[in-house]
Amino acid sequence: MDKLRAEKRVNELRDLLHRANVAYYQQAAPFISDRDFDMALAELAQLEDEHDLSDPDSPTRRVGGMPSGAFPAVEHPIPMLSLDNTYNDDELKAFDRRVSDILGHNDYTYAAELKFDGASVRLRYEEATLTLGATRGDGNNGDDITANIRTIRDIPLSLKTNSMEVLEVRGEAYMEKEAFIRLNEHREAEGLQPFANPRNSTAGSLKMQDPREVARRPIRFFAFDLLTETPVAGRTHREKLEALRLMGFPVCQFTRFCTSIDDVLIVIREWESMRRELPYDTDGVVIKVNEEKFHDELGTTSKFPRWAIAFKFEAEQAVTTLESVTLQVGRLGKITPVAELKPVLLAGTTVKRASLHNEDEIIRKDIRAGDTVIIEKAGEIIPQVVSVVNRENKERGLPFKMPSSCPACGEVLIRLEDEADWRCINPQCPPQIRERIKHFASRDAMDIDGLGEAIIDLLIEENLISNYADLYLLEKEQLIPLERMAEKSAENLIRSIEMSKMRTLDRILFGLGIRFVGKTVSKDLAASFNSIDELMEANEESLTCISSIGPKIAQSVVVHFNKKENRELIQRLKDAGLSFESAKTVTVSQKLSGMKIVITGTLPAMTRNEAREMIEKHGGSVTSSVSKQTDFLLAGDSPGSKYDKAVKLGVEILDENRFRERIGI
Ligand SMILES: [Zn+2]
């Protein structure tokens, strides 16, 4: 591209990205998808770089349009008090007695709500429009994080009410357990330290400097209180929750209204037993006097309101003895220290081992063999050692020290400067070979039934396999003579291996065991490339255009496919008959065959990705900018400059309905 054309394109992209930022942050009406935004931003950065067109005002310099630096402090006009905690029934009954003593009657009821393990936030609405979002801070002063709050989709930017009054809404930002696990998977893929629990990751996410990053974090919100300037006489908490719901706030369905503290206790028992099945973490129940008129009468202590209390559930922790620390070698050579424990019951299962993460963690917590330790299980995460109970214990072993060589193969261990883990870099290290094959055969990868750890060990021992491609050369006759392998099981194993040839590209990619490429990243890669050949030719720049792929993942993918031995393995898998084509290229009709289509604006009934998929399924392709070669523009609400350009060039414009008619759906 010559400089003049590059300049023109740079201006186009800057204009688009500026408008996209304004639409996203100020008008809350995004007109392009995150993916399109990221692609445009990447293209702009590349052009600026190649043609020396940098500009301090470019969107590449001001991601999200937000200034960096600390957040401004904001004072809470009504303090955000924390709640008094109780852990047992007697204390809760004592709370109830205090309430009735102060009021001098029993003419009140209770609201019981689940307590969320997240971060409390305060929202301010003026003329039904969100004007402020703040953290709790110390209860009197918090951080003004409005720009970040605006990215949380559960929080309405304007209320479904015509109230002109100033309203304050309080609630909890939280993360669902599954979303949290996915987030950590991505963090590990980026070489970042995973978050300890959903609460930490929520609080950390809310305080990030770049709202675009916050927008990618799966933060949810439940509203639990409404404060109005003019008090409403005789109002109850129940009515406030109903009002919040009508304004468009998510309100947790687990809210009950009870006439006595005994009824509250029944609700607590019920929720305590179902808490593990909930999609989010809860650490207790909040009990509030339902009638607002009694709140003033009850008042507050210096720290807590007297009209509310939190009943905390028993933590999912257990105490046991750490017998020894062993080292595990992962499939990528990572050395993980593991605590071998005296078996103990925790959250319904017997736990014998717990993760100790890495050397630094063990030293920081000063964990040694012989210690009495507290272990904890949070959500679906594997148990971990939280702390040492008794350091005065005379039976304590010596402080932990990482050996200098691999416990399995003797190779000298290395630790890169920006990493917490030690690694064995010998590709022939036996546990690594075994773990790679195990990973390839695992349920989320090739799902080879009957190929368990013991069989893999046996096959390696007998020199029948030394990598996953060797699996496809196995014959029944080689298996039958093996120990514990009858004719029937040999037949079954060969059939399972045969069946695995039908797995889709994303699962094969996951199975290859590329560093940083987990389940979700594999799906994203498979969805973005038509075949493994395309992926193998991709460079780091084009990989980072995919919104979930950062530079670390991109580099790792490129490095993996550049290695001769890896290319050979893939060729051998291809020869065995595995399909390395992406499933998304399956076309259902040729109605849009060869057509170049551009999408703009918000479509009423489908996302842009769905529209893209639909177009590809019918033989068409989606391009990013309108030109004379464009066959038609699919336009939704608030279309951008593409619309004007299509009009100017006389390109046909279809809305969603006419587009559906065209492809017959
Ligand atoms: Zn080794």
Average confidence (pLDDT) over 42-66? 71
Lowest-confidence region among 102-106, 416-420, 595-599: 416-420
**Topology of the domain comprising 430-572:** DNA polymerase; domain 1 (1.10.150)
Question: Which of 233, 243, 316 has the alpha carbon at shortest distance from 281?
Answer: 316
For residue 432, how far is its CA from the centre of ligand 1 (angstroms)? 7
C-alpha–C-alpha distance, residues 145 and 211, integer Å:
9
Q: Per the CATH hierarchy, to which homologous superfamily does domain 596-663 belong? A: BRCT domain (3.40.50.10190)
Higher pLDDT, 508 or 361: 508
Q: CATH 3.40.50.10190 residue ranges in the chain?
A: 596-663
Token readout for 53 is 């067109």
Residue 64 predicted with pLDDT over 50: no
Helical segments of 190-259, H only: 198-206, 211-216, 237-247
> Which of 93-107, 291-305, 350-364, 607-621 ranks highest by mean pLDDT?
93-107
Pick the CATH number of 85-312 from 3.40.50.800, 3.30.470.30, 3.90.660.10, 3.30.70.270: 3.30.470.30
pLDDT tens-place string over residues 214-226:
888 889 999 999 9
CB neighbours of residue 480 within 10 Å: 14
C-alpha–C-alpha distance, residues 569 and 293, integer Å:
73
pLDDT tier at 65, thresholds 50, 70, 90: very low
Active-site residue identified among 3, 115, 288, 617: 115
Lowest-confidence region among 373-377, 425-429, 469-473, 553-557: 373-377
Q: CATH 1.10.287.610 residue ranges in the chain?
A: 3-65
What angle do the packed helices 551-562 and 564-576 form, to 10 degrees? 70
H/E element, 119: strand 119-126
Average confidence (pLDDT) over 515-519? 87
User: For the residues of 283-299, what is the DSSP string, one character each?
Assistant: EEEEEEESBTHHHHHH-
Residue 475 predicted with pLDDT over 90: yes
For residue 153, how far is its CA from the centre of ligand 1 (angstroms)? 47
C-alpha–C-alpha distance, residues 148 and 71, integer Å:
11
Q: What are the residues whose beta carbons fall under 8 Å from the beta carbon of 656, sequence distance 6 or more?
A: 603, 604, 605, 606, 611, 634, 636
For residue 176, how far is its CA from the centre of ligand 1 (angstroms)? 37
Average confidence (pLDDT) over 85-104? 92
CB neighbours of residue 168 within 10 Å: 17
For residue 438, how far is its CA from the centre of ligand 1 (angstroms)? 17
Q: What pLDDT score was predicted for residue 30?
A: 59
Whether domain 3-65 has CATH 1.10.287.610: the reply is yes
Lowest-confidence region among 64-78, 455-469, 486-500, 508-522: 64-78
For residue 413, how far is its CA from the centre of ligand 1 (angstroms)? 8
Q: Which single residue is written with the structure tokens 């629990």? A: 197
> Which of 385-389, 429-433, 623-627 ranks highest by mean pLDDT?
429-433
For residue 570, how far is its CA from the centre of ligand 1 (angstroms)? 24
For residue 354, how far is its CA from the centre of ligand 1 (angstroms)? 22
Average confidence (pLDDT) over 576-586? 76
Q: What percent of the chain has pLDDT over 90?
A: 41
For residue 425, how far is its CA from the centre of ligand 1 (angstroms)? 7
Average confidence (pLDDT) over 132-155? 88
pLDDT tens-place string over residues 417-454:
878 889 999 989 999 999 999 999 998 899 998 898 88
Q: Is the dihedral of CA 231, 233, 238, 244 positive or negative?
A: negative
Q: What pLDDT score was predicted for residue 28?
A: 45
Q: CATH 3.30.470.30 residue ranges in the chain?
A: 85-312
Q: What pLDDT score was predicted for residue 556?
A: 93
Residue 69 predicted with pLDDT over 60: no
Average confidence (pLDDT) over 402-410? 94
Q: What pLDDT score was predicted for residue 22?
A: 62
**Topology of the domain comprising 317-404:** OB fold (Dihydrolipoamide Acetyltransferase, E2P) (2.40.50)
User: Can 115 be counted among the known catalytic residues?
Assistant: yes
Does pTM surpass 0.75?
no
Q: CATH 1.10.150.20 residue ranges in the chain?
A: 430-572
CB neighbours of residue 634 within 10 Å: 26
For residue 429, how far is its CA from the centre of ligand 1 (angstroms)? 4
Helical segments of 516-655, H only: 519-528, 532-537, 540-544, 551-562, 564-576, 608-617, 641-649
For residue 554, how far is its CA from the centre of ligand 1 (angstroms)? 26
Residue 162 predicted with pLDDT over 70: no
How buried is residue 663: exposed, middle or buried, by Cβ count under 10 Å (0-12/13-18/19+)? middle
Q: What pLDDT score was predicted for residue 67?
A: 33
Residue 26 predicted with pLDDT over 70: no
Question: Which of 289, 293, 288 has the alpha carbon at shortest distance from 233?
Answer: 293
pLDDT tier at 381, thresholds 50, 70, 90: low
> Which of 79-93, 111-125, 516-530, 610-624 ranks highest by mean pLDDT?
111-125
Which residues have C-beta under 5 Å from ligand 1, the single-atom ion?
406, 408-409, 411, 424, 426, 429
Average confidence (pLDDT) over 92-114? 95
Q: What pLDDT score was predicted for residue 287?
A: 96
Residue 460 predicted with pLDDT over 60: yes
Across the chain, mean pLDDT equals: 86
For residue 330, how far is its CA from the centre of ligand 1 (angstroms)? 9
Q: What pLDDT score was predicted for residue 309?
A: 95
Residue 392 predicted with pLDDT over 60: yes
pLDDT tens-place string over residues 172-202:
999 998 888 888 888 777 767 777 778 878 9
pLDDT tier at 555, thresholds 50, 70, 90: very high
Lowest-confidence region among 66-70, 253-257, 568-572, 606-610: 66-70
For residue 360, how far is its CA from the centre of ligand 1 (angstroms)? 21
Q: CATH 2.40.50.140 residue ranges in the chain?
A: 317-404
Higher pLDDT, 564 or 392: 564
For residue 328, how far is its CA from the centre of ligand 1 (angstroms)? 10
